[in-house]
Amino acid sequence: MEEKKYLTFALGKGRLARQTLELFERIGITCEEIKDKDTRKLIFVNEALRMRFFLAKGPDVPTYVEYGAADIGIVGEDTILEENRKIYEVLDLGFGKCRMCVCGPKKAGELLRHHELIRVASKYPRIAKNYFYNKKHQTVEIIKLNGSIELAPIVGLSEVIVDIVETGSTLRENGLEVLEEVCPLSARMVVNQVSMKMEHARITSLITELRKELNKE
Ligand code: PRP
């Protein structure tokens, strides 16, 4: 008999991957070799379950899934919205909760209220553009940055930022605050559109198991 195809998972590196693996363990999906912190391996296999796992940078997860290099991905909703890939979003995993917000010094609130032509720095130019142009109907200049976004209003690169707020401590420690909320965020499971058809039974039963486990919380 032909061997069952591997179901391949792309996990966003870091805390998200750790929380995902913990959740998977609770429904009997284990991967011992991925836990070895010293390993330089890139792909990890559970032969018995015919599953493979790899870690990738968050923004690359939807790309792997769209092209079918991974059947399933686990990634933050922020990345899904920003990458805008042709993938199915099938499950809210409930962890990794945070908010996408417009932030800045308190005085920038006035500029937002009066729809001034301001500069907005963000790691998420698509989300920022969609929010200001389609929701607020405010023309702004968007500046793409790759990290430490909070610096932008402090050093005068932009009036406000669009960024993730989790505990709010980065903002507080830098004299900034949430001025408007764009949307709430959490970790999501995404699925390749072809895999959803070809591996329908395995994937839907996985979603059902995960949903049952998450409902216990
Ligand atoms: C994220 C985000 C904020 C911070 C928010 O940055 O961009 O800077 O976390 O968390 P808090 O509300 O709990 O302070 P991350 O640490 O991912 O790095 P980055 O600045 O390089 O994007």
100 C-alpha to center of ligand 1: Å? 11
Query: What is the C-alpha to C-alpha distance for residues 150 and 122, in angstroms, rounded to an integer?
Result: 9
**Quick check: 112 pLDDT over 80?**
yes
Ligand 1 atom index nearest CA of 166 = 12
SS3 174: coil
Question: Which of 144, 177, 180 lies closest to 59, judged by CA?
Answer: 144
CA 95 to centroid of chain Cα atoms: 11
Mean pLDDT over 44-73 rounds to: 97
Query: What is the C-alpha to C-alpha distance for residues 61 and 141, in angstroms, rounded to an integer?
Result: 28
**Quick check: 179 pLDDT over 90?**
yes
Q: How many CB atoms lie within 10 A of CB 103?
A: 24
DSSP state of 32: G
Residue with CA closest to ligand 1 atom 19:
147
pLDDT in tens, 198-216: 999 999 999 999 999 999 8
Residue with CA closest to ligand 1 atom 1:
164
Residue with CA closest to ligand 1 atom 22:
147
Here the contacts of 34-38 (C-beta below 8 Å, separation 24 or greater) are none
Q: Are strands 98-104 and 141-144 parallel, antiparallel or unpaired?
A: unpaired
Kindly report whether the global pTM for this prediction surpasses the value 0.85: yes
58 C-alpha to center of ligand 1: Å? 14
**Quick check: 41 pLDDT over 90?**
no
pLDDT in tens, 83-111: 999 999 999 999 999 999 999 999 999 99
151, 57 in Cβ contact below 8 A?
no
Query: What is the C-alpha to C-alpha distance for residues 149 and 122, in angstroms, rounded to an integer?
Result: 6
The pLDDT value given to residue 1: 61
**First-last CA distance in the chain:** 40
Question: Which of 133, 12, 2 lies closest to 63, judged by CA?
Answer: 12
Q: By percentage, how much of the chain surpasses pLDDT 70?
A: 100
Residue 44's φ and ψ, nearest 5 degrees, are -125, 140
The pLDDT value given to residue 38: 86
Q: Which residues line the pocket of ligand 1, CB cutoff 6 A?
A: 123, 147-150, 163-170
93 C-alpha to center of ligand 1: Å? 20
166 C-alpha to center of ligand 1: Å? 8
53 C-alpha to center of ligand 1: Å? 26
Pocket probe for ligand 1: among 127, 165, 185, the residue whose CB has the most ligand atoms within 8 Å is 165
Mean pLDDT over 182-210 rounds to: 98
Across the chain, what does the average pLDDT equal?
96
Residue with CA closest to ligand 1 atom 3:
164
55 C-alpha to center of ligand 1: Å? 20
Query: What is the C-alpha to C-alpha distance for residues 52 and 36, in angstroms, rounded to an integer?
Result: 16
Mean pLDDT over 146-168 rounds to: 98
- Residue 82 token pair: 């920003």
Residue with CA closest to ligand 1 atom 17:
147
Mean pLDDT over 68-73 rounds to: 98
**Quick check: 217 pLDDT over 80?**
no
Rg (Cα) of the chain, in Å, rounded? 20
The pLDDT value given to residue 37: 81
- Residue 180 token pair: 């408007």
**Quick check: 174 pLDDT over 80?**
yes
Query: What is the C-alpha to C-alpha distance for residues 8 and 56, in angstroms, rounded to an integer?
Result: 13
Query: What is the C-alpha to C-alpha distance for residues 60 and 181, in angstroms, rounded to an integer?
Result: 26
